[in-house]
Amino acid sequence: MEPLLEEDDIVVIDRADCDLKKVHENGIYAVRRDDLYYIKHLHYEEKSKTLQLISASPHFTKKHGFEYINLKEVEDNPIVGKVVFRLKKWK
C-alpha cells in the first residue's frame, strides 16, 4: 500500500466495520484472501457480487492489474475490518 503505508507500519483495524454494503470508496480495509491478509482500497459491486481490491501503488496496478474476489464463491465475508489508524515506526 505504499505510499500510504510502508513496511513495518502498524495499523489499527475496526473489526465491527466490515459490512459489504457500507464499504466506503476511499476507505482502506483489511481483507482476507486465500489465508493471506491484505490492506487495500475496496470497491463493492452489488450487482455482480464482486469485491475489487485496489492497490494504492500505481506500479503494482500497472504490473498486476486489479484483483477481484467473487463473493459467490466465498463462504465467509473476506473483509476483516476498516483501517482507522496507522502508527509509523521511527527508524
Structural domains in the chain, sorted by start: 16-86 (2.30.30)
The number of residues in the chain equals 91
- Tell me, rounded to whole angstroms, the distance of Cα 5 from its chain centroid: 12
Q: What percent of the chain is predicted at pLDDT more than 90?
A: 22
Cα 76-79-85 angle, rounded to 5 deg: 155
Q: With pLDDT > 70 as the criterion, what percentage of the chain qualifies? A: 92
Cell of 70: 467473487
pLDDT digits (tens, 9 = 90+) for 24-57: 766 899 999 888 898 988 888 888 888 888 887 7
Task: Output the average pLDDT for the chain.
Answer: 84
Which residue's entry shows cell 496507522?
86
Q: Is the pLDDT of residue 76 over 80?
A: yes
Structure confidence at residue 53 (pLDDT): 87
